[in-house]
Amino acid sequence: MSIVKSLSVGDTFYIKHGSDNFTIIDCCMSEDDREDIVADLKRQSSGKGILRFISTHPDDDHIQGLEYLDDELTILNFYCVKNEATKEDSTDDFDRYCDLRDSAKAFYVFSGCKRKWMNQSDEGEHGSSRITILWPETANEQYKAALKDAKDGKSPNNISPIIKYKLKDGATILWMGDLETDFMENIEDALSLPAVDILFAPHHGRDSGKIPQSLLDQMSPKIIVIGEASAEHLNYYAGYNTITQNSAGEITFECGDTVVHIYVSSDSYEVEFLEDHSCDDTYGRYIGTLEL
């Protein structure tokens, strides 16, 4: 069993793996909530031998609070794409991102990359986190252009990797950072995506990050999680089962063999497409189970 949690603070996720691994994907923490969030991350990661932080890209809403997080947790394994992103108006969090990105703590991710204990096991105790990087293809011309834009101080959205987490006998979960629609349309012929059980919609679920239909057809997601952008900017993915974080609050996925039990922090949020396994409210208010 593993726990995947999407915090209702922008873009902050963690995976408490069934192995000796703990993964944080992005962070968006204000001074008001960062102490509580980091205290929870410390509790959840306690006892895990491997802690990694994956940064999809250095936009403020994906690295806010990174300096505090690093000071409190001491990030030893920092995963990002190899880049030279700059910003005209730097922040302490962006400066810390650059320090980590350019340090010996960094591991640069790309399609098909291998690493202990991200997706390789050994004979020791850590096991594998079962995380795979599906994108970027570093030779792709569109991706090279996105890197240049980021280096020139433009939006780094399209340097985001595509991250897959696959349980051995359970769910497949996918993150796409803040990839934008026009960029995905330009690279769709270069992508080969798997069937997906839970998909976190890119760019917080905004229209500007709407996934092209050809890619949705490849993935056939059973659930699309729509992020916390303003409602007027969201695409609600008509025809697909969705969970909207604006309404659901924090979302916790308890992933087991052939099932995912789902919990939210909202007292009133409901969906009709899940099965009822009568779970208790261990991780929040239980709203139902996805049968795989």
Give just the sign of the alpha carbon dihedral 146, 147, 151, 152. Answer: negative
CA distances in angstroms from 64 to 57, 139, 183, 228, listed in the order given? 12, 30, 24, 15
* CATH code assigned at 51: 3.60.15.10
- Cβ atoms 198, 222 nearer than 8 A: yes
- Residue 11: the pLDDT is 87
Whether the Cβ atoms of residue 291 and residue 259 lie closer than 8 Å to each other: yes
Total domain count, the chain? 1
Q: What is the C-alpha to C-alpha distance for residues 184 and 181, in angstroms, rounded to an integer? A: 5
Give pTM, 2 decimals. Answer: 0.97
Peptide linkage before 175 cis (omega within 30 of 0): no
| Domain assignment of residue 7, given as a range | 2-291
CB neighbours (10 Å) of residue 122?
A: 10
Q: What pLDDT score does 116 carry?
A: 94
Q: Cis omega before residue 136 (within 30°)? A: yes
So what's the pLDDT on residue 193?
98
Could you tell me where the DSSP H helices lie in the chain? 34-45, 60-63, 66-73, 92-101, 141-151, 181-187, 213-219, 245-248
> pLDDT truncated to tens, each residue of the chain (292 aa)?
999 999 977 789 999 999 999 999 999 999 999 999 999 999 999 999 999 999 999 999 999 999 999 999 999 999 999 999 999 999 999 999 999 999 999 999 999 999 999 999 877 778 999 999 999 999 999 999 999 999 999 999 999 999 999 998 899 999 999 999 999 999 999 999 999 999 999 998 889 999 999 999 999 999 999 987 677 878 899 999 999 999 999 999 999 999 999 999 999 999 999 999 999 999 999 999 999 9
pLDDT at 237: 95
Residue with tokens 């960094």: 106
pLDDT at 56: 98
Check residue 256 and report its DSSP letter: E
Tell how far CA 46 is from the center of its chain: 21
